[in-house]
Amino acid sequence: MEHGVEGWKEIEGGVAAPQGFYAVGVQAGIKYPDKYDVALIYSQVQAQAAGVYTKNLVKAHPLYLTQKHLRNGLAQAIVVNSGNANACVGDFGDQSALAMAEVVGMYTAIPQDDVLVASTGVIGVEMPIERVLVGIRAASSELLGNVVQDLKGQAAQNDGAHRAALAIMTTDTMVKEHAYELPCSQGGVIKLGAMAKGSGMIHPNMGTMLGFLTTDAAVPSSVLQRLLREAVEESFNMVTVDGDTSTNDMVLILANGTSGITPSGEDMLNFETMVKSMCIQLAKDIARDGEGASKFMEVSVSGAKTKEDARKVARSICGSSLVKAALFGEDANWGRILTAAGYSGADFDPSIVDIFLGDMTVARAGRGVAFSEETAKEILGHKEVQIRLALNGGEESATAWGCDLTHEYVTINGSYRT
């Protein structure tokens, strides 16, 4: 799949697609038997790294450890478990997160400070750490076997990266993994791989979502940090499923430089576009996979005075329970859309706003217009619905993504802990 003038395309391999990266997923029985629940990502060489984390004041134990390990901007492995969030369990949680890093470091012969740790699952329950560590040992053994085979030129295609993407899922119903390849003007290619999880407890400032990106480009940590923050603002922070922000969210990126390419000029611009496009793709995947969701919602806002005003309006509409319920019921209730924009905190004049469902105008200059209810219901009956607002007060725009609110969402979250 080509992506415009940048020339990058989608390839196979997921998070292990870039040179020098490996990934595996194993079944450790953390919460359920026969579920992949421990993932390990490994770089053959120490990588430049950066991270963005939840803004929730309550943070999971592995998040604190990862922030500590990333102070020097370097990392070589990421270990992730699902089935338990390792959050709000006191000293035991800190010790469990550290033990995960220690075991990876011991088995892969890298400093434990170069191991980043993430968890996802139920909050407030002690980690079954012995099972987790058994899983990490198995993952490390398999991964190192793949590295040895690769060095001997014997490695065959395997599904390790796909199993890693499966292992980080909780209530997700679809795997979220992609890989892109960017030809460079200086010759050669840069590859970017990624995987993410997220379905519920998703709200701007990152909800219960994890995202991991890998690249074989040579990019300094400081540049990665700036780029990742920009990408997250345009992608993961523009997704909302249910208005809840989790304790465990993080997005990490590792750049190991094994392509031998240090992008600059036009190549760097294209690389940055590719990273942002990857994050947007993953954000859309998360919105489409919202817990119990039957419809995907894209809200585009134009004509705002500032970028932040555009983002506030788009996120507010996507996050409105009444808008989400109307989408589920296929009710063209444009008043709920305008109301959600009004309490967003953005500065705009409601009397000049135009609202569209798909290509159909439902309000102009802040007032309803005659439209076909049958056509509106048909538009809202699609699996993917676009809502557009023209604020007509400036030049800035933004897009947010979400989903409808269904009976199934309540069913899923009424019994999540058990």
Catalytic center residues: 208
| H or E, element range at 340 | helix 334-342
The b/e string for 224-240 (b: 16+ C-beta within 10 A; e otherwise) is: bbebbeebbbbbbbbbb
What's the CA gap between 318 and 37, in Å, rounded?
A: 31
- List the end-to-end C-alpha distance of the chain, in Å, as a whole number: 41
| H or E, element range at 194 | strand 189-197
What's the CA gap between 124 and 139, in Å, rounded?
A: 26
User: Pairing between strand 38-53 and 250-255?
Assistant: antiparallel
Question: What is residue 155's DSSP assignment?
Answer: P
SS3 category, 345: coil
What's the CA gap between 374 and 380, in Å, rounded?
A: 10
What's the CA gap between 337 and 326, in Å, rounded?
A: 10
Is there a contact between 21 and 193 (Cβ–Cβ < 8 Å)? yes
Residue 121: both structure tokens together: 């699952």
For the residues of 362-412, what is the DSSP string, one character each? EEETTEE----HHHHHHHHTSSEEEEEEE--SSSEEEEEEEE---HHHHHH
C-alpha dihedral (76, 82, 86, 92), degrees to nearest 10: -80
Torsion region of 46: left, alpha or beta (phi above 0 gives left; psi -120 to 50 gives alpha)? beta
406 to 39, 172, 323, 325, 411: CA distances (angstroms): 31, 16, 12, 7, 9
